[in-house]
Amino acid sequence: MKQASVLVAAALLLACSGAPNAAAQAQRKKADSSAAEERVPMEKVVKSDADWRKQLSPEEYEVTRKKGTERPFTGRYWNTTQKGIYLCVGCGAELFSSDTKFDAGCGWPSFWDTLGKKHVRVRVDDSHGMVRSEIVCDRCDAHLGHVFEDGPLPTGLRYCLNSVSLKFVPAK
């Protein structure tokens, strides 16, 4: 049974890793160059492993500090449609807006843009036999999920996140 669960999770990861959206690539290149210019250093949050364990639930710790992944269609925000802002569960940095959230059909909350490029950093992730673009909180280095080049216009990006790495604040 465990092997079947692993195979299903691997298949979903591959299915959600889609091909680049060619229509958005030129637009994204221009946006990427201006994003580098707008990056403003945030005050870093640095804590010991023991402090992170005290602050976070076991699942939040596993995902954000150990680069785990929650199962698809199980996270608290994968199908949330309420208006509001998504914060980093580790440090409270504002990361994503419900205005850019969309249903990608992969079982994880998906967004086509961040709430300011300075809050999210992209790193190469070569785990699990594939190369992906990992996204982390720029302030506390929490693992958030991955970004793929198969999202909708205007960015062509799909930020695929773990619900457990986020805290949702509804709009008033």
Tell me which residues are annotated as active site.
160
Q: Any idea what DSSP says for residue 117? A: G
Contact at 8 Å (CB) between 42 and 139? Answer: yes
Largest CA distance in the chain: 49
Looking at the DSSP assignment, which residues form a beta bridge with residue 166?
Answer: 88
Taking alpha carbons only, the member of 45, 78, 83 closest to residue 166 is: 78
